[in-house]
Structure 1
Amino acid sequence: MDFALLVFWLFAGVSILYVVHFGLYLAGANFYDVWQQRRKGMKGVRLPAAYQPECAVTATWTRKGFPEVPGLVTVVIAAHNEEAVIVRTLESILRSTYRSVEVLVADDASGDLTGRLVRDYQLRHPEMDLRIVRMKKNVGKGAALNAALRRHARGQFVMTLDADSIIRRDAIENALSYFEDPQVAGVAANVQIMEETTALGILQRFEHMIGYRSKKLYSLLNCEFVVGGVASMYRMRVLRKVDFYDTDTLTEDIGLSAKITNLGNRRFRLVYGADVVAKTEGVLTFRALAKQRYRWKYGSIQNLIKYRAMTLNSSRRYSRTLTYYRMPMALLSEFTLLVSPLAWTYAIYWSLANYTPALILGAYATITAYTLLTILMDENLSPREQTRLCMYAPTAYFLFYIMDLVQLVAAVRCIARARGLVRRPEVNTWKSPQRAGSVAVISHG
């Protein structure tokens, strides 16, 4: 088999894989939507009495000596030089419909006005239970979150937020409703990119919409193990059981969710809450995007290697969908992201050289159609937003091609630093990207 034919079949294989996955994501998302409608329509689905704000009046002590207030939600915000956005984040929490909330800002040795802005906010809003936990030196995001949670958190549940993110008014209340199921250990939020009119902003928004829609399938199949750090909620007792965040990977949030899954996802389930809506800033430059995706990919691979024992594991602690589908596909997707830009580039050349554009047109039509379906089926978009995004949909194929090139560069950088993927050094510093700091409004529904 010559090289040209090999590349052709490689491209065809990658394309077929994507089409099959798009079909699974689409069908799974539809079943999830039906389940969500039935769930909300059931009269018995509401916050259990023990979780209601009026019950958060007395603290009980666990065997480890930590105070825990029933019904209280601890919202912990990791911050390092976030003066442009921290007040906006606090404002979104203040507007929450769920009132039994304490807020901890883990200030990891910020050198700007972050600490002063938080203290000013405390004075202006005494009705908010807000405290700042300041690190004397930059210890890293995971370590800063651990310090705040271990020493100061009193909540029965914990929601994590990045300092550049905001939550919808009903996000906390909606997240709590999933914990009516005693097997639910954590809830992943529906994270959206704040509106941007640039090509980079549109790219990130489409990517988040499609990526988070796939979580609906993973939630139904009980095979989710990747939960981000924006508006995710966990049971405090589960966080204590796994000893909070590890600090030996670049993605401490994925590390935490993988560590919880490693306990056994039949008993400790992670689910996706489509109605737990949060928004976050996208990166502002392609250089920042390259840095972000390298960090995400490097950290993801570190955690896949760290928890590789869950792959093809026959233990009854794990669902078969996790060990025989989700974990292998997570590993395979890293490979396809590595080769797909090369295969697509050669396929374009081959199609033009042989005057047979059907292959490229078919791929373009598939990506565009799936993007349109994702937009039109998104329950959190207004008709105006859907119309605007549908106008951008024909550009999605080209934008995703750019993203695949970014992923390819990230993969090459990961290979160049392969030693750190296995021998994981402690991560003890971090640097926040440039923030836009624009005013964002997120509606109740």
Structure 2
Amino acid sequence: MKRDWKVYLQQKGASHLQSALVLLVLYTLTGAVFYAALNYAYREFEALGNLRLFIFCLLIPLFLKMAVQLLVAPWYGIVDRLRYQRRTSKILPRVSVIIPAWNEEVGIIKTIESVIAAKYANFEVVVVNDGSTDSTHQLVTRFIANHKVCAKTKGHPPIQYLKLKNGGKARAMNQALQVANGEIIMTIDADSVMDAYAIRRMVDRFTDDSVAAVAGNVIVGNRNKPLELMQQLEYLYGFFFKRTDDVFKSVYIIGGAAAAYRKTAIEAVGGFDESIITEDIELSVRLLNHGYATRYAADAVVYTEGPADFKGLCRQRLRWKFGRILTFFKHSELFYSVQSHHNRYLSFFVLPLAVYSEFLLLLEGPLLAFFYGYTIYAFDFLPLVFVVLFLTSLVTIQVMLDSKAKFHLNLLALAPVSWLMFYLVDVVEFQALCRSIKRLVTRQELRWQKWQRAGISTSPLQ
């Protein structure tokens, strides 16, 4: 044990040193931008004036999207409280928390422990093992055996366990739905840790019968390496804008790491789609397609483990990107739909701009080459300075407004260099988009992909 602890400390120390060196480089580049802006005079370069105008016009839809998100997101708290006060039922429903697992020996016990410790009186846990070949089955059955003894005296919730042949996550989820007794179905990945109040806070968002699904606030719990810090920042940034989607009741990406559904709604639309790799995203879009509303619970937190290496991250984003594109094709009738049961904000704003963003991602390389070439040649560093200051301010505000602001305080050091870290995010997204397009053209399927996990600590909950 002493040797393992020593190795752990050495690895953690190496990760912190690596992060410090990366930060030093990023701060140096950021400082160089401000130095150039203060010390070099702008010189006119009229030859590229028309091209600059063309690029600006290309970016107008994204500027519009950002403006709407920034204007609407601050209203999230007020709208959320009003909806809660006007809720149609004040009875807390029974909840079934489903934990799907496939070779999750590293973290599944921590996941189950965090769920059964939830501060909610009326719920059960359903663990579904989708043909794991590691020690997941032995770990879970041993834990349940011990749990049954403790449950009688400590009042812990009951745990159901399903052991299936490997058939995919969606099939496993559908099997779990058949035995789940809750009115609300909540899912959490087996590499995640749930906050004690997550169940109650997600249930609170089912304010009327039109709400079919609620997304929780997923936070990256491992944050030692630079790549992990990048994901922590990315998740914070992205989930913040779900507040805007919540105001319009149209959250179209509800990830399985922290999702809650009205069981009757899932059954009404036919359960999880077993033919698509991102069954969670497809289900949330399908519910919206059927006229249901979806919401976001910013204070319902689940900590997840992000990939710790670049290859694993690229695989994860390929799955997300490919599955989302397939979902768009499957539910293409949602785009610019004038049907009365479709959400106008979703059909005319969110979905078209999501596709447009992918188009711009393909052009990002040439656009950035022109932008930085022009910036250096003309000494026009003020637009870049504005971007740095804007993102620094935005990330700082997002940290302060998050329900786990204390956990995210480390991101304040990253805020001034976030503009550079988002470029790495774009690199990962670009490779995922190119590989997805290739698979679409060649009609190649994508199987469920995993990466090496180390597990996350339960310390974030404390």
Displacement, 1:118? 0.7
What is aligned with 1:332?
356
Most deviating of 9-18 and 95-104:
9-18
Residues 122-141 of structure 1: matches in 2 within 5 Å? 122-126=144-148, 127=151, 128-136=157-165, 138-141=166-169
Displacement, 1:395? 1.9
Displacement, 1:424? 8.6
Tell me how many residue pairs correspond in the alignment.
Answer: 410
Is 1:147 paired with 2:175?
Answer: yes
What is aligned with 1:170?
197
Given candidates 225, 228, 245, the residue that maps to 1:218 is 245
The one-character-per-residue Cα deviations of 1:59-83 (angstroms, maximum 9, x if unpaired) are: xxxxxxxxxxxx3211111111111
The one-character-per-residue Cα deviations of 1:325-380 (angstroms, maximum 9, x if unpaired) are: 12211211221222224312331122112322223223222222222221122233
Is 1:343 paired with 2:367?
Answer: yes
Given candidates 201, 206, 215, the residue that maps to 1:188 is 215
Contact kept, 8 Å, 1:168 with 1:443, in 2: the verdict is yes
Give the AA of the match of 1:106.
V
Q: 3-state SS of the aligned residue for 1:178? A: coil
Most deviating of 349-358 and 177-186:
349-358
Contact kept, 8 Å, 2:192 with 2:257, in 1: the verdict is yes
What is aligned with 1:159?
186
Write the distance in 1 (CA, Å) between the matches of 2:111 and 2:56.
45
The one-character-per-residue Cα deviations of 1:179-226 (angstroms, maximum 9, x if unpaired) are: 232211111111111140322111111111111111110111233222
Write the distance in 2 (CA, Å) between the matches of 1:34 and 1:338.
38
Write the distance in 2 (CA, Å) between the matches of 1:214 and 1:124.
42
Is 1:239 paired with 2:281?
Answer: no
What is aligned with 2:96?
74
The 1:440/1:8 distance shift into structure 2, 3 A limit, reads farther
The 1:18/1:212 distance shift into structure 2, 3 A limit, reads same
Q: 3-state SS of the aligned residue for 1:412? A: helix
Q: 3-state SS of the aligned residue for 2:461? A: coil
Write the distance in 2 (CA, Å) between the matches of 1:27 and 1:17.
15
The 1:284/1:335 distance shift into structure 2, 3 A limit, reads same
Alignment gaps of 5+ in structure 2 = 1-45, 152-156
User: Please, what is the CA RMSD of the aligned residues?
Assistant: 2.4
Displacement, 1:177? 1.5
The one-character-per-residue Cα deviations of 1:219-269 (angstroms, maximum 9, x if unpaired) are: 1123322211112111111111112111222211101111111111xxx11
The 1:434/1:178 distance shift into structure 2, 3 A limit, reads same
Most deviating of 344-353 and 102-111:
344-353
Write the distance in 2 (CA, Å) between the matches of 1:188 and 1:250.
19
The one-character-per-residue Cα deviations of 1:75-114 (angstroms, maximum 9, x if unpaired) are: 1111111111000000111110113222111211111111
The one-character-per-residue Cα deviations of 1:24-72 (angstroms, maximum 9, x if unpaired) are: 22222210023335566x5x769723x3xxxxxxxxxxxxxxxxxxx32
Residues 294-373 of structure 1: matches in 2 within 5 Å? 294-373=318-397
TM (norm. structure 1) is 0.86
Structure having the larger proportion of residues in helix: 2
Contact kept, 8 Å, 2:361 with 2:430, in 1: the verdict is yes
What is aligned with 1:59?
none
Give the AA of the match of 2:326.
Q
Give the AA of the match of 1:439.
S
Write the distance in 1 (CA, Å) between the matches of 2:300 and 2:88.
15
The one-character-per-residue Cα deviations of 1:383-426 (angstroms, maximum 9, x if unpaired) are: xx454321111121111001111111111112212247xx696x
Write the distance in 1 (CA, Å) between the matches of 2:296 and 2:328.
20
Contact kept, 8 Å, 2:298 with 2:402, in 1: the verdict is no
The one-character-per-residue Cα deviations of 1:274-308 (angstroms, maximum 9, x if unpaired) are: 12111111111111111111111111111011101
Contact kept, 8 Å, 1:224 with 1:326, in 2: the verdict is no
Given candidates 25, 29, 32, the residue that maps to 2:76 is 32
Q: 3-state SS of the aligned residue for 1:30? A: helix
Write the distance in 2 (CA, Å) between the matches of 1:3 and 1:403.
32
TM (norm. structure 2) is 0.83
The 1:350/1:175 distance shift into structure 2, 3 A limit, reads same
Given candidates 62, 65, 72, the residue that maps to 1:21 is 65
Given candidates 33, 48, 51, the residue that maps to 2:90 is 48
The 1:46/1:195 distance shift into structure 2, 3 A limit, reads farther
Larger Rg: 2
Contact kept, 8 Å, 1:337 with 1:404, in 2: the verdict is yes
What is aligned with 2:37?
none
Write the distance in 2 (CA, Å) between the matches of 1:295 and 1:5.
40
Alignment gaps of 5+ in structure 1 = 52-70
Write the distance in 2 (CA, Å) between the matches of 1:341 and 1:33.
38
Percent identity reads 29
Displacement, 1:22? 3.0
Displacement, 1:443? 3.4
The 1:291/1:424 distance shift into structure 2, 3 A limit, reads closer
Write the distance in 1 (CA, Å) between the matches of 2:224 and 2:49.
40
Contact kept, 8 Å, 2:277 with 2:448, in 1: the verdict is no
Write the distance in 2 (CA, Å) between the matches of 1:363 and 1:373.
15
Write the distance in 1 (CA, Å) between the matches of 2:255 and 2:47.
40
Write the distance in 1 (CA, Å) between the matches of 2:458 and 2:237.
22
